[in-house]
Structure 1
Amino acid sequence: MTAGPDPVAPGRTTTSSASTGELFGAVTRDLSTLIRQEIELAKAEATQSARNAGRGVGMFGGAGVAVHLALIFVSLALWWALGDPVGLGWSGVIVAVLWAIVAAVLALRGRTELRRVQGLPRTADTVKKIPHALQGHEEENS
């Protein structure tokens, strides 16, 4: 029995009459579609990660600028308040050491926050599955 046009997919013939060239063409189209989809997923994930990181960094920057002026005045007030019992020179050193401690704590917290940016986890996972999918084992993980 010879196969005619495939009624489900017009323009294609059934598998029994498909030539090697047609099968290779179908595999090439499917692989091309898969690669395009992976690229789109990578773009979407990169955009989302960059947006989240940018928001976080922007908010830290804005908070730093807004608080900077208030901290200058608080520091000056503390310097002058400590200046009477200790002397202005030593009170300046005390205030500077306090700000060095605050800077160290903020730097450590900022580093922790930036480490939370995950990059492209789903894209990496699906790209690892491509070789298995090409071999017909779509559900295998590497």
Structure 2
Amino acid sequence: MSHPAAPGPQGDGEPTIGRLVSDISRDLSTLVRGEIALAKSELRVSVKSGAVGSGLLVAVAVLLLFVVTMLSMAGGFFFAWLFNRDVPLAFTWGFLAMTGVWILIIVVFALVGIRFLKKVKAPEKTIATVQEIPNALKGKTDPRTTIDLPEAAVSPATADTDGKRLTS
């Protein structure tokens, strides 16, 4: 009675299809995790700058409402003084001076907000590495091309008891 060959490594040293599929799956998983880590590290700085810049520009919009209110009141006092002369002109000048103060604050907030928004950039390294993935899968990458990637965090699945990465 003959028995079928047991699955496992073949005698000539070539890996089995199951082993190749397992290696491909592991490598793709590692590649995706690396790309995600790279994108997170690149976007972290841009997101912070974008949030601060956006917050300052929202403050500018709110303060512009104050300016409109102050100018409206100054205009109202001016017309009251113009038509009736009972309202002192000092109120008009006071509101106009306060409007100038608000405008200075708005200009400072706007300039700082725009400066922060200019720091927002696309994740260039991530884009470059993602564009290389199809060529890498086809085996057409240039071995001289290297891209500096950030050190990935140690996964609990691949860590030893001291938290160091296991080598395979």
How does the TM-score come out when normalised to structure 2? 0.45
* Match of residue 116, structure 1, among 115, 119, 141: 119
- Backbone CA RMSD of aligned residues: 3.8
- Structure 1 residues 47 and 96, CA, compared in 2 at 3 Å: closer, same or farther? same
Alignment-derived partner of residue 93 in structure 2: 91
Structure with greater contact order relative to length (CA < 8 Å, sep ≥ 6): 2
Query: Over residues 1-31 of structure 1, what are the superposed CA-to-partner deviations in whole Å (9 max), with x where a residue is unaligned?
Result: xxxxxxxxxxx88996223333232222211
1:24 is aligned, of 15, 21, 24, to 21
Residue 135 (structure 1) aligned with residue 135 (structure 2): no
Q: Are residue 125 (structure 1) and residue 121 (structure 2) matched?
A: no
Whichever of the two has the greater Rg, that structure is 2
**Post-superposition CA distance 1:92-113 (Å, at most 9, x none):** 2431442353214531441232
**Cα distance in 1 for residues equivalent to 2:101 and 2:133:** 52
- Where has structure 1 moved over 4 Å in runs of 4 or more? 12-16
User: Residues 112 and 49 of structure 1: is their aligned pair in 2 closer, same or farther, counting only changes over 3 Å?
Assistant: closer
- Give the number of equivalent residue pairs: 103
Helix, strand or coil at the partner of 1:128:
helix
Q: Give the CA deviation at 1:41.
A: 1.9
- Separation in 2 of the partners of 1:15 and 1:91? 96
Which amino acid counterpart does residue 21 of structure 1 have in structure 2?
G
**Structure 1 unaligned runs (5+)?**
1-11, 65-85
Deviations 1:46-73 (A, max 9, x none): 33444x538x939x98xx9xxxxxxxxx
Partner Cα distance (1:45, 1:13) in 2: 45
More helix per residue: 1
Q: What is the percentage of aligned positions where both structures have the same residue?
A: 34
- Change in Cα spacing, 1:13 to 1:130, as seen in structure 2 (3 Å) is farther
Residues 1-142 of structure 1: pairs in structure 2 closer than 5 A: 17-50=14-47, 52-53=48-49, 57=52, 87-102=89-104, 103-104=106-107, 106-139=109-142
Mark the runs of 5 or more structure 2 residues left unpaired by the alignment: 1-8, 60-87, 146-168
